[in-house]
Structures are given as structure tokens and as C-alpha cells.
Structure 1
């Protein structure tokens, strides 16, 4: 039984309107989440993305080729049931944001961090209304409680589907500010991803590339860009 895998049984995956949004039907049968809840998403565009994944399945169903479906499942089966807990976890990044912890040497790295990270903190001041302070070293120093509260309120205000995508934007980049920057189109998502990897890129320049690390980074980048797409698709037309 462990070797059993679900096989394609449908001819057409179609998008249909449903109560609360849109769903995907396989030959007229609605898709369910792993927890047996109705898979209803907020926008037609997201439903079309999910339908395309199901339509592309050939023979045995391969969940690894269905990232949009996975994100929707997470929003419905997990985030919807513990929205506050997920929001709290992500908001906590604001008190120890990647962009705030700086190297003291070498001078070239210090300059590069200032060049790439300072503009993002300035963007946060203008767009998010928070003034996060930088520190030298890795020892935690708390940010202003007022700023942390503002970031937390913004995070809690996200819908279940937005929060599911935002989770990956923040956790993969290691930065709440970069997560918001990606979600709110402060820069192209690929540029934000590169900014988040400044330290890793620097190390590779000094010591050479590591094939295994590069492969893992490529997977994470793909997941980050997918999360940005799903965040965009979660915004009602």
C-alpha cells in the first residue's frame, strides 16, 4: 500500500464560481484539500493557476509539480485555523530583521550592506512607517516597541491566502521588511531575493561557489518567486 500513488482520472480541470470565490472541478467534481475541505480560492486568476496544474498532470499525480495547489491547501487547512499564530511568528522577524544586523569588517562588505540594505530600510520608513535601527554584530537588540507593533498589525491584517504566501516571502528571505517589499512591489522580486542573499553572495565571491549550496539556493529562489506570484494572485480583482 505504501507504493500506491494517485492517478489521473479526469479529462478536464475547469474553474467555476463558488461561494466565497472560485474553485476547480475535475469533470464536474470539486477539488478537496488534504483535510477534506472545499478548495475555494479568492480570485479567478488563482483558480486558473491551480486548474492548469491539475490539467498538466500526466498519469500519476505529482504534488511536486503543483505549488499553487499546495499554497492554497496551506491557506485553507493551516493558516485559516491559526492565523494569529502564523502572523505572530512572522511579525517577530521585525524585531530581529536581517537588514538590521551589519558586519564590522571587511570594509567592502560593510559598504555593500549599506548600499543594498539601507535603501530598503528607508523604503520601510516611507511605506510602512517604521524606523528600524541597525546594529553591528549578531547579538539581538530589540527594536522600538511601537515599530514592532506597527509591523505586527500589518502582518495580522493579511488575509489567509496572503499570509500563506507571505510566510514564504519572509522565512525564505529572513526579513520581514524584504517580505513586505516583495509583496508591495518595492522592487522586482528577483532583486529582493538577491538583496536577501548578500552575505551568501559575498562569501561565495571570497571562497568560491559550492555546488550543493548553489542548488539549494536555486530551489529557494524558485519558492520565493512562487510565493510572490501567489501573493499577487490572492489579491481580489
Structure 2
């Protein structure tokens, strides 16, 4: 989403964050979390690292802080930013989403206007039947949430009820900055506001939602096979969906 571009994890905790083309060596021995003002802080050798905007890395729950701390503890000789997705989520929540909540909610709601679960295949019959069987219950779930979305066959855009789109925006704005960041990550990943909300609310696991989001892709793979590049890309996206699920669950634990 344009309002929350990915942020590099914190890489120079003692001097604040800075971009660098050089690989940075691990400079700490111990990682812990400590309860303090505003929540739970991650600590490296007893000191709290800072976000790229120089805010302290403090999260609302101990479980969320430990999820981030696990990434710091898992670093080897050199820091690998790509292995720190929860750290990126935390820094994005603190630095960006806290300042752009309404635009972020607008972008989440826009996905409801063209939700992937509403665009059904016209053929072949097995895929049509699978989408009807596996997607319809989640459109019903969304309707119970106050988000009635109407499906259409084919790829021609069909405008949804503005009230349904507005309801998604309302649900997004009910979340705190950290959960809103997770939702803003899940929704474009899945191509669906419905699936994103289902993961955020614990109705679906991240992996199950990811599988639902790619029914047609998986069907085509079953027909024509999978190349290594696509398999790697799918595995990376699946891992991201599972991480976002862990993020939401960690935010629920006090």
C-alpha cells in the first residue's frame, strides 16, 4: 500500500537507524523484552533499539514484543533485514501508520470494492464449483459483519455497495496502529478485504486464507505444473501470510 512502504529493520540501534549498502555485523549478545512506559520494549544488551524515525521499539503486548525479539535473537554474524518481517511491521506501525491511519483505512476499504472473492471464474466447471463451494461461506461471513458484497462472473468490474466499503473502513479504523498495520499488509497480499479481516479476527488462519486467495492459481498449477520461480514466490507469500497471522495473535495476548 502506498502509505506504508516497507521499512528496513533497525540496524544501528545505538545511533538510530540509517540506510547502508554495507552488511552490518551483529553487535549485541543478549535480546530480551522489558515492560515499561507505553508497553513492552525489545532490548539488545539492555538497550532499546530505535525505529528509522528514531522512536523506541515498543509494542503493546509482551507476545508481540517477543515475536520481534525472536528475529533479533535469530540473527547470525550479519544482520539480514529480509529475515525480520515482524520488526518491519512494528516499525511501520510506529513510524508510518500512526501518522496515516485514515489513508491506510481508505486503501484497505478500496479492496472491498474489488474483492477477489467476488470475481468468479466462468469456466472450467471444476474451478467454478470450487470457488462457489469455498468462497461463498466467506462472503456470507462478511455479510454478517455488515459487509455485503455481490459476486460477478468474469473479470469485468462490478461496483459494490458504498455502505459495504464504508463498513470495511470503519472496521479498519477500530483497530490500533499495530493491528491496522497487519491488516494493511494482509489485505493486498490476499487481494481481499474479506480474507484480511477473517485473519485479523481469527476466523481463518493466515495459511488457509492464502490458499483461498489463490484457488485459480492452484487450479492452473494442477493442470500445467509449477516452475521453480513461481514455487519460490508462492512459498514466500505463504510465509508472509503466516507471519501476519502470528502478528495478529500476538497482539491479542496481554
Matched, 1:15 2:33: yes
**Larger helix percent:** 1
Q: CA deviation at 1:93?
A: 0.5
Q: Is 1:169 aligned to 2:186, yes or no?
A: yes
Question: Aligned-residue CA RMSD in angstroms?
Answer: 1.6
- For the 8 Å contact 2:50–2:57, the answer to whether it is kept is yes
What aligned pairs does 1:1-237 form with structure 2 within 5 A after superposition? 4-126=22-144, 128-235=145-252, 237=254
- Rounded Cα–Cα distance in structure 1 between residues aligned with 2:212 and 2:88: 27
Question: Any conservation in 2 of the 1:14–1:26 contact (CA below 8 Å)?
Answer: yes
Provide the rounded CA distance (Å) in 2 between the counterparts of 1:135 and 1:103.
Answer: 9
Name the SS for the 2:23 alignment partner: coil
User: By how many angstroms is 1:236 displaced?
Assistant: 5.2
TM-score, normalised via structure 2 length: 0.88
Deviation at 1:57, TM superposition (A): 2.1
CA apart distance, 1:190: 1.9
Question: Does structure 2 retain, via aligned residues, the 8 Å contact 1:30–1:38?
Answer: yes
CA apart distance, 1:200? 0.2
Q: Note if contact 2:111-2:191 (Cα within 8 Å) is conserved in structure 1.
A: yes
TM-score with structure 1 setting the length:
0.94
> Structure 2 CA distance, aligned partners of 1:2 and 1:229?
29
CA–CA separation in structure 2 for the residues paired with 1:177 and 1:196: 10
Shift of 1:210: 2.2
* Aligned equivalent of 2:15: none
